[in-house]
Structure 1
Amino acid sequence: MIGRAWVVALSLFAGLAQASASQDAIAWLAKVSAASQTLNYAGTFVYQAGRTTETSRIAHISDATGEYERLETLDGPPREIVRSNGDVRFYLPQEKIIISDHAMPKRFPAWAHVSPDQLMGNYNVRLGSLDRVAGMPAQQVVLEPRDAFRYGHTFWVEPGSGLMLKSRMLDSTGAVVEQFAFSDVSIGGLVERDKVRSRYAAAAGGWREINARGAAVTPEEAGVSCRGLLPGFRPISTVRRQVKDGGADAVHLVYSDGLATISVFVEPIVQGRKTPVVGESAVGPTRIFKRLIGAQYLVTALGEVPPESVRRLAESVEIRQK
């Protein structure tokens, strides 16, 4: 009886220790979320996915009037993203196009604060070792998926400020799906306002502007539902927007598990046009699955998740008759 009591006690203590370790890691993620919104920072980071490598420069300012950010690519065709609080403008100089949209789901080095319960329901969250990135100390925060519907992640966080210095996404074999990492970064202090202003805005008077903001609608108004959601994913927005020039409006649904995000587009098929190609595909780390509902609708699900996840979510979509 005494031996069994010791086993029970040790199991209890182990469970408490694991819960405490998860809470410590969650606290680090909360620090990252706050840092990405409230800090001034500027630097250069490298993105890698498969054989693709891309270098970008970012500057971020937070003050009494809000958040401002400018990101420009330094490789290949010039591209620029400028964020002013909740509004985002994409500048494509070669095409002379500006795309305006609402703020997107946050990407490196930002972290959107989410419910700890939702996050821990889908991932084992723990602290890793102390490392070094861009010449700075970096605490690893590890998120291991609890099932095969999502990828694993490791974040490297600068301990003093809480800014994320590096982010790595891993598949079920431990192979790197994609990685972001600062090569140099300055944290805190003054970032000049010009650093977050577009370099193309003054010359873009004759450029074509596309409004991709769309209009928020309720699921009932959209007439679209999912009969069985992907485990761990919750609906976070439903928007009606135009996804193709001259095309009919599509319904854009977004689902999240607290870290990964999947977009689902449901658009009417224009009669007389070529039948869309359906099935699985990929663009870099983004997995895509398309299917038809009768001859009337095309459903497209896409996200940086395993192929099975986008397929299951796409196949769960139903059109409700109004």
Structure 2
Amino acid sequence: MTRALSAFLVLFGLIAPALAAPQNKDGDSAEAIDLLTQASKAVRRETYRGIIVYLRQGDVDTLKVVHRYYDHEEQERLISMSGQVREVIRKGDKVTSILPDHELVLVSEHPPKSMLGGMSHFSPKRLKANYQVVDLGTARTAGRDCRVIAIRPRDKFRYGYKMLIDSKTQLPLKLNLLHHGKRLEQMMFTDIAFPDHIPDSEFVPSYDVHGFRIVRHQAVHVSESASDKREEQWHATNLPPGFKLAEDGVRQLTSDASVRQMLFTDGVATVSAFIAPAGLRAPLKGATRMGAVHAYGDIVDDTQITVVGEVPAITARRIAQNLVQEKNTAKKAPAAND
């Protein structure tokens, strides 16, 4: 449910500050880049409530969102209005997801420097090498005037984006995810208001969760004991152009089993690689897809490698086929260039 809004948070929260640079010879619009920078702040700092529609593979999800930045902390509440009954409440780094039909509460906490948390991984040079930023003029959505901005990929390894940014508040109101000019997914506000204040009562759960099962997800962290073991070291070779390793962490599943998560980014798109003992879940070998999300699985000896991201299939496959364990480096040659 949160993937729709996460698209805004990731795209504008991570790329826009890094894009803040003058116009260059490749035709990037300086005004568009500046607007993206303002949008990155608005998506966190604006107070608003509205209705969001998320379209993917012919399916339509509708949800109500309430958002504010209060006492130096972001707060948000999402309520499903179609499909499965769900409610998500976020306060700072803590996210609580309530699934009343299953009497289940999922709680996750991410420290400030968790996955996707550090701007140090993103650089204007890499962004400009892989994308072109273009100002496409004006349009209206949700009854409001907007600027239309495009982020166009320079090669086959990444998607493109087209967005409408509110002219008054700079909040992104519509986002299209594109591949070869074809829309893969769309997220948009169909109704939105910007009140001066939203009370605490609007961030309280609608459901009494007494007696619900509570599942807490452990944040990904770097395990020193795992990192010290040479045989557990993994690295990537021959990555798609522009992609670099941004994070490398380990989550302990049981006393004798852990999963390593590696995050790769080109400055806009992010791809996660999961490395775990084979047999923990149903095996995945080869490619699979859900909407714009592509996954590719490979089994190496007794290890399951799974790569997932909102990227073209060729990107997920190339990363998966070029993850090597240090002790096996000599046994597995890098895959040929795609």
Matched, 1:231 2:231: no
Quickly say closer, same or farther: Cα 1:274–1:197, change in 2 above 3 A.
closer
Q: Give yes or no for the alignment of 1:122 onto 2:143.
A: no
Q: Which residue of 304, 319, 323 maps to 1:298?
A: 304
Work out the CA distance in 2 between the residues paired with 1:266 and 1:179. Answer: 31
Say whether the 8 Å CA contact 1:61–1:196 is kept in structure 2.
Answer: no
The answer as to 2:262 corresponding to 1:253 is: yes
Residue in structure 2 matched with residue 147 of structure 1 by the alignment: 155
Shift of 1:100: 2.2
* Cα distance per residue 1:208-247 (max 9 Å; x no partner): 323242323479456221122221122222221257x999
Give how far 1:304 is off: 1.0
For the residue of structure 1 that corresponds to 2:167, the secondary structure is coil
2:198 to 191, 200, 205: 191
Q: 1:26 to 1:115 in 2, by over 3 A?
A: farther
Partners of 1:130 and 1:105 lie apart in 2 by: 34
Q: Which one-letter code corresponds to 1:319 in the other structure?
A: Q
TM-fit CA distance, 1:91: 1.9
Identity between Structure 1 and Structure 2 (%) = 26
CA distance in 2, matches of 1:208, 1:48: 30
Are residues 133 and 319 of structure 1, via their aligned partners in 2, closer, same or farther at CA, if it must alter by over 3 Å? Answer: same
Aligned amino acid, residue 238 of structure 1 = D
1:260 Cα offset (Å): 1.2
Whole-Å separation in 1 of the counterparts to 2:256 and 2:97: 21
Please say if residues 185 and 292 of structure 2, whose CA atoms lie closer than 8 Å, have aligned partners that are also in contact: yes
The correspondence for 1:288, drawn from 291, 295, 310, is 295
Q: CA RMSD in A?
A: 2.8
| 2:317 pairs with one of 311, 317, 321 | 311
8 Å Cα contact 1:254/1:264 also seen in 2: yes
Closer/same/farther in 2, CA of residues 160 and 89 from structure 1, 3 Å limit: same
Residues 131-176 of structure 1, C-alpha deviations (whole Å, 9 max, x = no match): 000000010111110100001100100011110000001111x111
TM-score, structure 2 normalization: 0.80
Match of 2:216 among 210, 214, 221: 210
SS at match of 2:37: helix
Deviates more, 1:183-192 or 1:97-106: 97-106
Structure 1 equivalent of residue 38 of structure 2: 31
Q: 1:17 to 1:251 in 2, by over 3 A?
A: closer
Report if the CA contact (8 A) 2:44-2:74 is conserved: yes
**Which of 269, 276, 279 is the equivalent residue of 2:278?**
269
CA change 1:182–1:105 in 2 (3 A) is farther
Per the alignment, residue 110 of structure 1 pairs with none
Matched, 1:68 2:78: no
1:264–1:42 CA distance, 2 compared to 1 (3 A): same
Say if 1:275 and 1:157 are closer, same or farther in 2 by CA, change over 3 A.
closer
Q: Alignment partner for residue 174 of structure 2, among 146, 166, 175?
A: 166
Greater Rg, structure 1 or structure 2? 1
Q: Is the 8 A contact 2:115 2:247 kept in 1?
A: no
CA gap of 1:179–1:301, structure 2 versus 1, over 3 A, is same
Q: Secondary structure at the match of 1:203?
A: coil
Structure 1: stretches of 5+ with no match in the other structure? 1-14, 107-112
Question: What is the SS of the residue equivalent to 1:300?
Answer: strand
Which residue of the other structure, out of 139, 142, 147, is the alignment partner of 1:131? Answer: 139
Q: Distance in 2 between matches of 1:124 and 1:42?
A: 32
Change (3 A) 1:115 1:199: farther
Distance 2:192 2:310 in 1: 26
CA shift in 2, pair 1:121/1:101, >3 Å = farther
Residue 192 of structure 1 and its aligned partner are, at CA, apart by: 2.1
**Unaligned 5+ residue runs, structure 2?**
1-21, 329-338
Residue identity matched to 2:274: F
Rounded to whole Å, the distance in 2 between the matches of 1:217 and 1:21 is 41
* C-alpha displacement of 1:203: 2.0
Compute the TM-score of the two structures, normalised by the length of structure 1. 0.83
Aligned to 1:28, what secondary structure does the other structure show? helix
- Contact preservation (8 Å) 1:97, 1:210: no
User: 1:94: how far off?
Assistant: 1.9
Instruction: Tell me by how many angstroms 1:262 deviates.
Output: 0.8
Displacement of 1:207: 1.7
Aligned partners of 2:26 and 2:194: how far apart in 1?
32
Distance 1:277 1:114 in 2: 31
Say whether the 8 Å CA contact 1:141–1:156 is kept in structure 2. yes
Residues 89 and 144 of structure 1: is their aligned pair in 2 closer, same or farther, counting only changes over 3 Å? same
Aligned with residue 51 of structure 2, among 44, 55, 58: 44
